[in-house]
Amino acid sequence: MVESINQMRSDKWLVVGAHGQLGKYFTETLTAFGANSLSLGRAELDITNPDAVDRVLRDFRPTQIINCAAWVDVEAAEENVDDTFALNSDALANFVDFTKNTDALLVNFSTDYVFDGGNRSPYLPTDQVNPINVYGRSKVAGERLLQEKLPDNSLTVRTSWLIADSPKNFVSRVASKALAGETFGAAVDQTGTPTSCAELATVLVETLAKQRLTGTHHITNTGETTRAGWAEEIYRILGVNPELVRPATSETLPMKARRPLYAVLDSSENGSIGIPTLSPWQSALAESTVIAKFKAHR
Ligand X SMILES: NC(=O)c1ccc[n+]([C@@H]2O[C@H](COP(=O)([O-])OP(=O)(O)OC[C@H]3O[C@@H](n4cnc5c(N)ncnc54)[C@H](OP(=O)(O)O)[C@@H]3O)[C@@H](O)[C@H]2O)c1
Interface residues with ligand X (CB under 6 A)?
Answer: 16-17, 19-23, 42, 45-48, 68-70, 72, 87, 109, 111, 139, 159-162
Picking from 59, 159, 58, 56, the residue whose alpha carbon sits closest to that of residue 107 is: 159
Tell whether the torsion through CA atoms of 69, 161, 296 and 176 is positive or negative: positive
Pick 7 or 80: Cβ nearer ligand X: 80
Nearest approach in angstroms of CB 57 to ligand X is 14
Strand partners, 215: 155
> Residue 100 CB, nearest distance to ligand X (Å)?
21
Continuous segment of H or E residues that includes residue 157: strand 154-159
Give CA–CA dist 9/205, Å, rounded. Answer: 11
Identity of the residue, 5 or 149, whose beta carbon is nearer to ligand X in the bound complex:
149
The least CB distance from residue 101 to ligand X, in Å, is 22
**CA-CA distance, 131 to 256, in Å (whole number)?**
15
Q: How far is the CB of 137 from ligand X (least distance, A)?
A: 12
d(CA 263, CA 28): 29
Catalytic residues: 135
Distance CA 186, CA 242 (A): 12
- Which of 21, 103 has the CB closer to ligand X? 21
| Contact of 171 with 293, CB cutoff 8 Å | no
Cβ nearer to ligand X, comparing 5 with 213? 213
Report the SS3 class of residue 294: helix
- Nearest residue to ligand X, by Cβ distance, number only: 20
Closest approach, Cβ 164 to ligand X, in A, equals: 7
CA dist 183 and 171 (Å) reads 14
Q: Please identify, using beta-carbon distances, which residue of 111 and 153 lies nearer to ligand X.
A: 111
Answer left, alpha or beta for residue 154, where phi above 0 means left and psi between -120 and 50 means alpha: beta
